[in-house]
Amino acid sequence: MKKLLFVCLIFISAKLFAQGGQRNDSLYYLIDTAKTPANERLWDIETNNQFKSYTLNCPCLKYNGMPRFFYSLTEAGDPAQVITKAGLQGLKVVTLRELIGKSRQLLDTSIISHAFAFIEPYGRKYVVHHVDLRNSAEKVVSPPDSYKIQPDTSAFKAIGLITVDSKNIARYANKGVITEGWVTDTKAPDGDDGNMLLFVGADYPNQDYTIVIKGINRNSFDAPELHYKNKQIKVTGTVTEYKGKPAIEIRKENQIQIIGRFRKQ
């Protein structure tokens, strides 16, 4: 695990592919997380009813963004190709370091269509998906147009906020605080009005406190159950109580920031 994190730090300062112009032909990368222990995986893989995405847990892009690759799950949107092992050997597969370097070079714009192709195991064969790339710290308006955003830190600048250790947060009931911690798990309880819960410090029921995103505010967040899980975060808000545990309700994304990646001991 330490080696993986060390390599990730190298990516941040590396200046790869500095020479030559941008090309639109595909770079192939073999991704096989099934052979990697869960606590050592650098990829967060998410699937919804439209897209499958792969986010690399390395803040090596502008605004500390992480490279996110995705493809459509519809046949028309993703003309996937099944190849044999012999076909795989005929492709020029790039290393993770080369993939990061090319991502950094190309992401002057938010989306680079079909510059990359991901190869995944498919039984005894492989399937090739052409993927689009974006910086996770950029928000897309209507592809391919986008605007770059700086983190909104305004919620952390309110007067009277107290910086506290998450393990001592219960002492600050009804006070506005700033605190840091690890989101170890998330949950959307049935029949709880669409609330999303993020458990900080330890898994339920031993968490330091619970971050509560009420159902009425869920649309203000980009998939919080996926985006914040296994991340180190900084939060600001008023300390309250949720089902017998200290809690902070957050209503907007500017109350929570990702400051690191979760690492199991």
Q: How far apart are CA 59 and CA 137, in angstroms?
A: 9
Each residue's pLDDT tens digit, 119-146: 988 888 899 888 888 877 765 544 444 4
In the block, tokens 């699937």 appear at: 47
- Residues 25-32: what's their mean pLDDT? 80
pLDDT at residue 246, rounded to an integer: 97
Question: In this model, does residue 3 exceed pLDDT 70?
Answer: no
- pTM, two decimals, is 0.48
Each residue's pLDDT tens digit, 201-248: 999 999 999 999 999 998 888 778 878 888 889 999 999 999 999 999
pLDDT at residue 262, rounded to an integer: 55
Looking at per-residue pLDDT, the higher value among 114 and 174 belongs to 174
Q: What is the mean pLDDT of the chain?
A: 78
pLDDT at residue 42, rounded to an integer: 82
Query: How much of the chain exceeds pLDDT 70, in percent?
Result: 74
Q: Are 166 and 183 in contact (CB under 8 A)?
A: no
Domain spanning 154-261 has what CATH number? 2.40.50.140
Q: Are 33 and 120 in contact (CB under 8 A)?
A: no
The DSSP result for 120-176, as a single string, is: EEETTEEEEEEEEEEETTEEEEETTEEEE-----GGGG-TT-EE--GGGGGGGTTSE
Question: In this model, does residue 65 exceed pLDDT 90?
Answer: no
Looking at per-residue pLDDT, the higher value among 25 and 182 belongs to 182
For the chain, the domains span 18-148, 154-261
